Amino acid sequence: MFALAVLFSATTLMFAVRAATNEPLMEEFSVKEYEDFHRVLHPLQHEALPKKDFQRIRARAGELTKLGKAITKLGVPRGTSTESVKEFNRELKKFGKALIEFEADARSGSDAQLEKSYSSVHDSFEMLAALLPRNAAQITYPKVNVVIYDGIATQVSAGLEPSSDLWVTMRDLTRATRFVVKPQGVCRDSLCFPLPRNRNAEFISRTGSTTWFNLSGFARLIKQPFASDQKLGVWYFGPLTEERNGYIASLTAPDFTLPDLNGRTHSLKEFRGKKVMLVTWASW
């Protein structure tokens, strides 16, 4: 039951952080023409269009159209599979036609016409991007991570990429977890965990004047459960062993509070003395 509670809490908190930040992920394309076009398209799609800021869309229409024409001039990118070439050419024609209509509407069309033709350009570009060679588009990870520790969310700087582990600065380590690296080990209050001498490089790294600490590696060392969504940059850390052992000794599940489908909050303690079944789900 404890393990289910940790997973349920971690999953829900990750989705809550994603909803709270509401920050769309930027895509990065290895094909320069697509990268240039997307750099202009992205803020229009996620900032101007939701606010119906058609003046801003009109102001960037000339630049967007010029970059779009560079995509049509490029044609089918190198590395596209043979079976995709025909479909790629078909989508390029649709994209070129959408650009012509968008350019005309930006000059003299109504806002409704502009919104429709802009959406056609956006949707057509998305189709082309999906047809790019598999290694031509990849997700850029956030420049900050969110660490949920002791139930508190803290933004920390992202660093030491590429890495499947969470490396944080010494300052962020203390801000997010209250742990401090000392000569005798990694300490917080009365707790102190020594680092294996022959594995020091696994946990501490220096780049220039910045010292980094491997927080996820440390969690594995002390057998602390954690879960992450690295594309969103969210890391959830469960209770330390001492706290978990306390729950096991008392046979009392840790309390947590989460909203139901109607937004009403419920705490596990409300159901003390009753049988409770926890149903969990995660997307990974």
Q: Is the pLDDT of residue 65 over 80?
A: yes
Q: What is the pLDDT of residues 154-192, one digit of tens each?
A: 988 876 555 678 899 999 999 999 999 999 999 998 889
Residues 6+ apart with CB under 8 A from 26: 42, 140
pLDDT band at 30 (very low <50, low <70, confident <90, very high): low
Which of 3.40.50.2000, 3.30.360.10, 1.20.120.10, 1.10.10.10 is the CATH number of 27-139?
1.20.120.10
- How many other C-beta atoms are found inside a 10 Å radius of the C-beta of residue 114? 21
pLDDT band at 106 (very low <50, low <70, confident <90, very high): very high
d(CA 92, CA 79): 16
Is residue 230 within 8 A of residue 164, CB to CB? The reply is: yes
d(CA 282, CA 284): 6
Tell me the pTM. Answer: 0.44
d(CA 189, CA 85): 62
Inter-axis angle of helices 111-131 and 82-108, nearest 10: 160
SS3 219: helix
Retrieve residue 249's tokens: 């000794």
pLDDT, the chain, mean: 81
Is residue 38 within 8 A of residue 136, CB to CB? The reply is: no
Domain with CATH 1.20.120.10 in the chain: 27-139
Compute the average pLDDT of residues 208-226: 90
